[in-house]
Amino acid sequence: MAVQAVESSTGSTGSAGSAGSSVSLGPAVALSCRECGERFPLGPIFACAECFGPLEVAYDLPTGDPEGLRKRIEAGPNNIWRYAPLLPVPADVADKPNINPGFTKLVKADNLARELGVTGELHIKDDSGNPTHSFKDRVVAQAVEAARAFGFTTLSCSSTGNLAGAVGAAAARAGLRSCTFIPHDLEQGKVVMAAIYGGDLVAIEGTYDDVNRFCSELIGDPAGEGWGFVNVNLRPYYAEGSKTLAYEICEQLGWRLPDQLVIPIASGSQLTKIDKGLKELIALGLVEDKPYKIFGAQAEGCSPVSTAFKAGHDVVRPQKPNTIAKSLAIGNPADGPYVLDIARRTGGAVEDVNDEQVVDAIKLLARTEGIFAETAGGVTLGVAKKLLENGVLDPTLTTVVLNTGDGLKTLDAVAPTTGPTAVIRPSLDAFREAGLG
């Protein structure tokens, strides 16, 4: 990937627009390499100039008064900006035109728990309630604020569908141009949703990994000048939006950590940032420190991280995706090695399920809790069910399973086996003959 560099503590320089000390992004103070620890000024960069490791946001967080911080958060808006003191955003972020995602429902899933034999608390964090009906609204809202700070005029991304829709909506709301890139064979619902907001939507012949490679070339080309790619040159800020899932879950549980979380894996960034968010809450004294386990969920047809975990490997070998869970179909997940580290450090695991199990899980969640999940949610619940059956998940503990999107976007997955119970004539006799009365 091309690297847009800014001046580092070692003196290397490059072009990055409005980077450095002139940028005000709340408690964010620098970018830090996850591998070597080298720090860089805030700017539109994503890879370390010293070792090419991934960069993430470093903070000066408000410490010393957890009760005051807790009250400040609780008095905030019912969206992710209630956590502005912990995010790389300006202090007045809530007053700017944004799609304002977040604070979605944490559903206590008692019916599902009985079905699965869970005796502890079982919750579904249902992010289908976001503005474009997926968790991607969280990360894009963060990226918009960074794009504004760095003077970008076009918002872009490589996407498996949900992200393109979120970028299109957020750009329209912010008054920015959008141009997004997707694989050519996505679900029609996601294509229509990504296109409806009026930006340019470009379908690339190939897989998501092909799309991502193309975007990496475009970002280093004059044609990409002034473009903020939310999951490339804005990635460090974009990724921080996933932390808000951790914040919300703990606040909605009464400011306590869950014992177990089951999280879908695409690039793996969401899982790593949820772990980061949980650790921040502990460090700030907002929740009591205790062990928690993180479990990753993949589709069998695109399971490079699960394969590596089961084999005891530290290297994640790329796979060619072949699954109905297209939003998770990233064959070369950037954060895969970090997911392995977190699963092992917390005592969790990474597991996968096949397409039939995905569909069964979608129907199970709909039938028991009235939540229609997209295929990624079917993967996550399917893995949770499998882990319970295998004795890996503890059924007596407080468990949170993530549903990251709306089933109306992936109707093709369930349509062949879902439809009317019966087709009858408009008469009571026909109703009774069908065995319905």
- Whether 19 shows a pLDDT value over 80: the answer reads no
Q: Would the CA dihedral through 230, 231, 236, 241 be positive or negative? A: positive
- From CA 21, how far away is CA 33, in angstroms rounded? 18
Q: Which residues pair with 262 in a beta bridge?
A: 295, 401
Residue 6: per-residue pLDDT: 30
pLDDT digits (tens, 9 = 90+) for 163-208: 999 999 999 999 999 999 999 998 898 999 999 999 999 999 999 9
Q: How many CB atoms are located within 10 Å of the residue 332 CB?
A: 18
State the Cα–Cα distance between residues 176 and 182, nearest whole angstrom: 19
pLDDT for 347 beyond 50: yes
At 39-94, the pLDDT tens digits run 999 999 999 999 999 999 999 999 999 999 999 999 999 999 999 999 999 999 99
User: Residue 216's pLDDT is what?
Assistant: 86
421 exposure class (CB count in 10 Å sphere: 0-12, 13-18, 19+): exposed
Mean pLDDT of 424-434: 95
Nearest residue to 249 (alpha-carbon basis) of 273, 274, 266: 274
Q: Which amino acid is at 173?
A: R
DSSP label at residue 374: -
Distance CA 311, CA 328 (A): 21
Mean of the per-residue pLDDT values of the chain: 93
Write down the pLDDT at residue 5. Answer: 29
Distance CA(60)–CA(317), nearest Å, equals 36
Q: Count CA within 13 A, CB hemisphere, residue 111.
A: 9
Q: Are 350 and 314 in contact, with CB atoms under 8 Å apart?
A: no
* pLDDT above 60 for 108: yes
- pLDDT confidence of residue 165: 96
Nearest by Cα to 181 from 206, 213, 204 = 204
Q: What angle do CA 332, 338, 340 make, to 5 degrees?
A: 90
- Per-residue pLDDT averaged across 310-323, rounded? 96
pLDDT at 74: 98
Cα 296 to Cα 317: distance, rounded to the nearest angstrom: 17
pTM of the predicted model as reported, rounded to 2 decimal places? 0.93
Query: How, if at all, do strands 55-59 and 28-33 pair?
Result: antiparallel
User: pLDDT tens for residues 241-294?
Assistant: 999 999 999 999 999 999 999 999 999 999 999 999 999 999 999 999 999 999
